[in-house]
A and B are shown apart, each in its own frame.
Chain A
Amino acid sequence: MPAERHIQGEFFMSGDEACAEGAISAGCRFFAGYPITPATEIAERMSDRLPEVGGTYIQMEDELGSMAAIIGASWGGVKAMTATSGPGFSLMMENIGLGIMLETPCVVANVQRAGPSTGLPTMVAQGDMMQARWGSHGSYSIIALSPSSPQEVFDHTIKAFNLSERYRLPVLVMTDGAVGHMYEKVNIPPRSEIDLVARRKPEVAPAEYWPYQPGADLVPPMANSGEGYHFHVTGLTHDERGYPEMTAEAQDRLIRRLVDKIEKNSADILELEEDGIGGAKVVVCTYGITARVAQIAVEHARSEGIPVGMLRLITVWPFPQERVAQIASQIETYVVPEINYGQVSLEVERSAGGKARTVLVPHMGGTVHDPQTILEAIRQAAR
């Protein structure tokens, strides 16, 4: 096999291209996808780049197949991803649930566009945030990241692979049409400077291996197919051997662990950015592309003498409810701008628990917010 071709240095790159490069840097060697605006450039770049690093690109017949294929590829021992936008994300939901249930490391990038249905295919939105959290049926926890720039798309894609390997689940990179198509400087560090995490392997003989016997961190070690373990895994509720067990007790044990392995490790997973929160009466809580628009409004407000803080959610799921509650007890109002009709704002309001008011600044999509709208909400909140 020819040597892998890697790139490093500074590039002028779109968010979508940065996603593909982040995946390559993270060790992703399998991509299955279906063309969809505004995520197609990720597939195009992967179709060029994967053969250069010994990986495989396959264009599937639909997003149902894409999601199933990356789960299969991950069990074949290869880091795998897909990329899509709203309609395709909807089609992936059932097999995202399979990824949760089989505890399969993989990454899904959703370059969000305005919906519902075909909506505004080429234009920005943040309308899939609750679908990311709850879109597959049943109870589970998920990890979703929200990058604000092409550089962050690169960094977050690597982080997404690391979290997926560490905690064995599909991790969602919730970018959007604006960040995906925006060109900015992206720094790709040398490979030696990128920390990568690999799934933990079983340390027992095949005859003693139970695919869902968790470690102390609630995450079970994972054998890949072809390694002689002769394991069985199923989307049915199962016991630690991977065998179906159709009882309420097995369901209780399994679902609690699938949720707890994320929630109890949230300190390791969560990433937030805080600015000027001490002494603020108003905090703008925001994420993704909207954080960059909100930043303009926050700076204006400060120049008018309004003490306003900013809390940027880099990890949106699991939700940083403890920190949001803590801040709520020190401030009067959360202002939550997002490109939807109220999704993450509901989570802010719930976490604030009545200790601070939550003001939604909705925007239905197609463009980012006018910063003036956010500034006006800050001014009113500070009155």
Chain B
Amino acid sequence: MMTIAQTGEHAREVHPLQDYIREDRFPHIWCAGCGLGIVLSAFLRAMLQSGLDPDRVAVVSGIGCTGRVAGYIKLDSFHTTHGRAIPFATGLKLANPELEVVVFSGDGDLIAIGGNHLIHAGRRNIDMTVICVNNFTYGMTGGQFGPTTPSLARSTTSRAGNVENPFNIAGLAAASGAAYVARWTAAQVRQMERSIIEALQKRGFSFVEIISPCPTYYGRMNRQPTGLDQMRYYRANTVVRHFASPHEVGVGLGGLIVTGKFVDTERPYLPRGE
């Protein structure tokens, strides 16, 4: 939806989220067909609908394609080190509990190199929202397999097919103690947006996994060479099962993608109130 603003003699189109996007950094680095723009816009719309004061929302990213989200958001935003977005965010939140702290990072960053921090943040049930964009690969470095890459999937370091087992990260977050766990694909924009609102409003550790296309590497090497191919695949193979057991929703190569809100519970959280 575009609106028209008058600036002097010239009319120009204004993006409805322009106040929260660093347009002066465009063009962004993401490939055509990448899902990150969809997730970023959904987050900003969710933030505006959630009733939060944007002055008190801070976004922390790690390293990788999703790690670049922090750089395009016009809020207090931190592009930190690989894997350390969650502990950085932990310090930020505990130092200033009035901040709503959002970690926006990828599966490699949060689940591999940062996996230890993820499970301990879940255990503490620290009051923050993690948006984990899962594209099943290390995109920034050129498509190597990672902790979420399905078995048998091809990558630039598993050309004959991945011999490892992947993490089911919704299950991992739930087992760690997260108060809120949901999964959506980049093709479920409205559900994703509503879910991020819930996550932002939840007191405790909220984890939203977004399965998102990486046509350049994961898609091209696994017979879905365009973003559109991957989105069509999601549309044809996704089911919504709220409160499905998070331990039974693993994602394989082909087959069904179970999405929905899996966990929404109350547990003691950090920081403790007065």
Does A78 lie at the interface of the complex (its beta carbon under 8 Å from any beta carbon of B)? yes
B87 lies within 8 A of A69 (CB): yes
Known: A70-B91, A77-B96. Contact between A61 and B117, CB under 8 A?
A: yes
B94 lies within 8 A of A73 (CB): yes
A65 lies within 8 A of B120 (CB): yes
Known: A226-B56, A226-B98. Contact between A235 and B80, CB under 8 A?
A: yes
Which A residues lie within 8 Å of B263 (CB)?
none
Binds A, one of B39-47, B67-75, B149-157, B242-250: B67-75
Does A329 lie at the interface of the complex (its beta carbon under 8 Å from any beta carbon of B)? no
Question: Which residue of A is nearest B120, CB measured?
Answer: A61
B147 to chain A, nearest CB (A): 17
Q: How large is the interface on B (under 10, 10 to 19, 20 to 34, 35 or more residues)?
A: 35 or more
Does A134 lie at the interface of the complex (its beta carbon under 8 Å from any beta carbon of B)? no
Which B residues lie within 8 Å of A61 (CB)?
87, 116-117, 120
A64 lies within 8 A of B84 (CB): yes
Does A227 lie at the interface of the complex (its beta carbon under 8 Å from any beta carbon of B)? yes
Q: How large is the interface on A (under 10, 10 to 19, 20 to 34, 35 or more residues)?
A: 35 or more
Does A326 lie at the interface of the complex (its beta carbon under 8 Å from any beta carbon of B)? no
B78 lies within 8 A of A75 (CB): yes
Which A residues lie within 8 Å of B274 (CB)?
1
Does B79 lie at the interface of the complex (its beta carbon under 8 Å from any beta carbon of A)? yes
Which B residues lie within 8 Å of A32 (CB)?
87, 90-91
A37 to chain B, nearest CB (A): 21
Which B residues lie within 8 Å of A94 (CB)?
81
| Contact string against A for B residues 75-97, beta-carbon threshold 8 Å, 1 for contact and 0 otherwise | 11111110110111111111110
A58 lies within 8 A of B80 (CB): no
A233 lies within 8 A of B79 (CB): yes
Which A residues lie within 8 Å of B10 (CB)?
none
Does B99 lie at the interface of the complex (its beta carbon under 8 Å from any beta carbon of A)? yes
Scan residues 113-167 of chain A and give those whose CB is less than 8 A from a CB of chain B: none
Find B79's partner among A29, A74, A225, A234 (CB 8 Å cutoff): A234
B84 lies within 8 A of A65 (CB): yes
- Residue of A65, A68, A229 with most partner-chain B CB within 10 A: A68
Find B92's partner among A60, A62, A75 (CB 8 Å cutoff): A75
Known: A56-B94, A68-B91, A69-B88. Contact between A229 and B79, CB under 8 A?
A: no
Which B residues lie within 8 Å of A234 (CB)?
70-71, 78-79
B94 lies within 8 A of A65 (CB): no
Interface residues of A, Cβ cutoff 8 Å to B: 1, 29-30, 32, 56, 58, 60-62, 64-66, 68-78, 80, 94-95, 97-98, 102, 224-236, 243-244
10 CB-based A-B contacts, threshold 8 Å:
A32-B87, A72-B87, A73-B91, A76-B96, A98-B84, A102-B78, A226-B55, A227-B55, A230-B55, A230-B74
- List the 3 closest pairs (A to B, CB-CB), nearest first: A76-B95, A72-B91, A69-B91
